[in-house]
Amino acid sequence: MPVQERHDAPLAPLTTFRLGGPATRLITAVTDAEVIDAVREADESGTPLLIIGGGSNLVISDKGFDGTALRIATTGFDLQGTRLELAAGENWSDAVARTVEAGLAGIECMAGIPGSAGATPIQNVGAYGQDVSATITEVVAYDRRSGETVVIPNADCAFSYRHSRFKEDPTRYVVLRVRFELEDAGGLSAPLKYPETARALGVEAGDRVPAARARETVLKLRAGKGMVLDPEDHDTWSAGSFFTNPVLTAAEHAAFLTRVAERLGPDVAPPAFPAGDGMVKTSAAWLIDRAGFTKGYGAGRARISTKHTLALTNRGEASTEDLLALAREVRDGVHAAFGVTLVNEPVTVGVSL
C-alpha cells in the first residue's frame, strides 16, 4: 500500500507556479515498488494518472486533475567511481552539488535546475552548455505498456533539444532511476561550452575550471535571472523558460530574417546557432523582447519575470487561466511580429495554449 494518500488534494502547492486545482486522489510513493503499485492500480482500473516530481515544469488546469496524481518521492544517490545512479525522486540540484563535492565533472553547469532527477530525461534538461543526454547512460523505467521494468540505453532515449522519447510518448514510461557516467578530471569541470559562463569566470570557452567554481558561477548567473527557486521571490514562481528556442528550417530562417529586416532594419542580426541538418536555432527570449514584451510585461496577476524575458510568472494571486492568457498574448504577438510560432516548454495538464 502506498504510504501516503489524500483525496481532493490541492496540486498548486506541489508546483513552482503554485497553480492548478485539486486531484481526485494524490499518492506519494517513496519506494520504486510503491510507484509501480500505484501505476498498476491506476492502469488496471482505467484511472487517468499524472506523475509529479518537483512540479517545476507543470501547468495544471484550474479545474485540477480528475484521476490519480502520483508524487514520486523515492530516494537513492549511489556513486561508484564515476558512475552515478539516482532514484527518480532525488532532488536534482542537490545531486549535482554532491557530484561536484566528489570532484566529478559532467553535470556541474546544471546546478540550480529545480525538480527531480527522474524528470531530467523527460525534456533532456539542460543549461549553460550541458544537457543530461551527454552523461546519461541508462534510464530505468516502468513500461506501462508491457507492465515490466525496463532499462533503456541512452541511444534509445531519442534525446534532442528539450525532447526525448519519454516526452514524445508521455503515458508510456515512469522513470524510476537514472544512470550517469561522469568524468574524473581531477576536480576540474568539463570544458565550458557556454560563453556567458566562461566570461563570468574570466576564461575562454573550452577551458576547464575547478568544478566547484563552475557550479557556483552558474548558480550566481541563474539567481540574477530568477532561475533559482526562492519562495519569497515571485520572479521564481515560474517553470523557468516558458517557451523553447525555435529551431527553423533554412527556408523558415530566411523568411524570418526578411521579417526582422522589415521590422527592425537591415542591420539587426537575431541570434542564430547551427542546429544540424541545415536547421538554425534562434532565441525565444530575443523574439519576445523584440516583439515588445519586455521584462516585467503585463498588468495582471501573471506577468513576465522582471529578471528574465523567457519566464512567465505568477505574482501571487494568478490562476492558470491568467497565465495562459499571458502566454497566448506573447505567442501571438511574436507570431504577428516575426512569423515564428513559439512552443511552450512546460507540460500542460487539462489545458493547452
Ligand X SMILES: Cc1cc2nc3c(=O)[nH]c(=O)nc-3n(C[C@H](O)[C@H](O)[C@H](O)COP(=O)(O)OP(=O)(O)OC[C@H]3O[C@@H](n4cnc5c(N)ncnc54)[C@H](O)[C@@H]3O)c2cc1C
Applying CB under 6 A, the residues found at the interface with ligand X are 16, 51-58, 72, 88, 113-116, 118-120, 122-123, 125-127, 170, 174-175, 227, 229, 236, 238-240, 347
Pairing mode, strands 347-349 and 58-60: parallel
- 8 Å CB contact between 211 and 105: yes
Q: What are 14's three cell numbers?
A: 506541489
Contacts of 232 (CB under 8 A, 6+ apart): none
CB-wise, 51 or 260, nearer to ligand X? 51
In whole angstroms, what is the distance from residue 87 CA to residue 73 CA? 9
What Cα–Cα distance (Å) separates residue 170 from each residue in 59, 274, 328?
Answer: 15, 28, 24
- 8 Å CB contact between 219 and 303: no
Is 232 among the catalytic positions?
A: no
What values do phi and psi take at 216, rounded to 5?
A: -60, -40
Cβ count within 10 A of residue 62: 16
Least separation in angstroms between CB 253 and ligand X:
24
Contacts of 34 (CB under 8 A, 6+ apart): 2, 3, 27
Can you state the percent helix, strand and coil of the chain, rounding each to 5?
30, 25, 45
- 8 Å CB contact between 54 and 71: no
Is 241 among the catalytic positions?
A: yes
Residue positions annotated with a catalytic role = 162, 241, 345
